[in-house]
Amino acid sequence: MWLLQIAFIEPYYEQYRLSEIEKVNSEIAYRVVDSAIELDSTELSNVVGREMMCVDIMNDTARTLVNSDNLGSTCVIDGISKPALLQFINNAKEAPRNEFSIKFTNNNTNQGMYLMVRGVMVAEDEYVYIFTNAPLEMVDSTVYVLRRQFGLLTLLVFSVATIVSLLLSRRLSYPISNMTKSAKKLATGNYDIAFEGEGYEEVIELSETLNYATSEFQKTDELRRDLVANVSHDIKTPLTMIKAYAEMIQDISGEKPTLREEHLNVILEETNHLERLVNDMLTLSKYESNAYTINLEKYRLSNQVNNTIGLFKGLDINFDVSVGKDIFVYADEVKMGQVLYNYINNASKYVGDDKLILIKAEVVGNTVKVSVTDNGPGIDPEILPYIWDRYYKVGKNFSRNHSNSGLGLSIVKAICIANNSEYGVQSELGEGSSFFYTVPLAINNNKKR
Ligand code: ADP
């Protein structure tokens, strides 16, 4: 608006004035022809209306026939000498369309002016000349007031816009630069930072996402550290033992067969433990990476239970099996056999004084729930949620038990997740534990294998 007012208003106004003058002039010419000169001043004034111009209609001797003046003293026509008027008339006569015009500056008012002379034929060889004079510049003081106001307004709008945009950009950039600082700290492994987003919803959302990502990083980092600590602890201890006993054989018991036998047994036991640990680690990573195929087949559940129990023959344990002989399931026999084995293996380690392990199969709808129950020490409710985590026992207690790798239940969990089986435990301290898993019932259950 300001630019329009300051830069383009003059040419625009001039153009407007010229077209107005042209219009009035044409209208007068038409009336003059129509009334055959008999145009009176009232009619002329009506045509001119309130336009800022003065009009003189003269004959070819430059005598005024009728005139209308809205300009008063600034009208230049009255001040033009007769010869000059005749010269103008002559110019109009010779011009195409009998029209002649000039632009000039009024010396008294310093105002741009326009003078137009137009010859109109009113009878055979009889012409009248319409002199029209109008200023081409605005004189109105409101224009200057408006210009000033526009200038001030522009300044005001510009300042307000600058302040508002500064505030807005600060509101936007402040939390983002804060978050950038936090992200740099996070990159150095400092997880005790919080991303504080404020202001815009998107920024708040971003900070929440970053906080979530930080907590996940933290968990992964803890897991990684635990894993390294646990694995190295579990491998280092047997290795130390093996080394120590090998040295003892070398230095002391090499020549003493009984002692040597004893030391060799320790070495063997430690080696077995290492082997078990490495095997379990391989099994778990295989199941967790899903790098194996699931072979679904129909098999008799009681056969699998009996075969698995057979593996614990040498132990002083009684098994109470209540698995219907006619229950056929449709699952991966080898993998589910591993789940059953791990459950029974644990139950045999934590078996109660009664030395009894109960194995039960219940058909619930289309699935069979297999449970392995012992009357052993049970599990502390506080640690119950963690027993499925890898290295749980070894990780938290660092107690050494040669038959434990701390991976048994993690393997169960990985297999059950991969096979869409449910798994879980019910346990009470001092009462015993009951672990279970589910397998789908074979559709045609009666068909014998
Ligand atoms: P581990 O090799 O240590 O037995 P698991 O993953 O098989 O590793 O078991 C994790 C932990 O769950 C065990 O260390 C033990 O504390 C607990 N747990 C598993 N089975 C039983 C059970 N039948 N009775 C009591 N505690 C058990």
pLDDT tens series, the chain, 449 aa: 777 777 777 778 888 888 888 888 888 888 887 775 567 888 888 888 888 889 999 988 998 888 888 888 888 888 889 999 999 999 999 998 889 989 888 777 777 888 999 998 888 888 899 999 988 876 556 667 777 888 888 899 999 999 999 999 888 888 889 899 999 999 888 888 888 888 888 889 999 999 999 988 887 888 788 777 777 777 888 899 899 999 999 998 888 889 999 999 999 988 988 888 888 888 877 777 766 788 899 999 999 999 999 988 888 899 999 999 999 999 999 889 999 999 999 999 999 999 999 999 999 999 999 999 999 999 988 888 888 887 665 444 444 555 667 788 988 998 998 889 999 999 999 899 999 999 999 876 554 44
- Specify the ligand 1 atom closest to the Cα of 432: 24
- The model's pTM: 0.53
H or E element: which one contains 314?
A: none
User: How many helical (H) and strand (E) elements, i.e. helices and strands, does the chain have?
Assistant: 11, 12
Verify whether ligand 1 is closer than 6 Å to residue 436 (CB atom).
Answer: no
Verify whether ligand 1 is closer than 6 Å to residue 404 (CB atom).
Answer: yes
DSSP states along 434-445: EEEEEEEBPSST
As a whole number of angstroms, the distance between CA 298 and CA 190 comes to 53
Verify whether ligand 1 is closer than 6 Å to residue 409 (CB atom).
Answer: yes
- Specify the ligand 1 atom closest to the Cα of 409: 6
Expressed in angstroms and rounded, the spacing between residue 387 Cα and the centre of ligand 1 is 7
As a whole number of angstroms, the distance between CA 171 and CA 113 comes to 56
Closest C-alpha to 25, from 71, 57, 50: 57
Asked if residue 119 lies in contact with residue 127, where contact means CB atoms within 8 angstroms, the answer is yes
SS3 assignment, position 416: helix
Expressed in angstroms and rounded, the spacing between residue 344 Cα and the centre of ligand 1 is 11
Asked if residue 359 lies in contact with residue 320, where contact means CB atoms within 8 angstroms, the answer is yes
H or E element: which one contains 170?
A: helix 141-187
Asked if residue 438 lies in contact with residue 367, where contact means CB atoms within 8 angstroms, the answer is yes
Closest C-alpha to 35, from 57, 50, 53, 52: 57
Kindly list the strands in the beta sheet with 111-123, ordered across the sheet, starting from the edge strand earlier in the chain: 64-69, 54-59, 126-135, 111-123, 99-106
Instruction: Write phi, then psi, for 142 (nearest 5 degrees).
Output: -60, -30
- Specify the ligand 1 atom closest to the Cα of 392: 10
Closest C-alpha to 136, from 48, 28, 52, 24: 52
SS3 assignment, position 51: coil
Which pLDDT score is estimated for 368? Answer: 95
Asked if residue 218 lies in contact with residue 192, where contact means CB atoms within 8 angstroms, the answer is no
Instruction: Write phi, then psi, for 439 (nearest 5 degrees).
Output: -135, 150
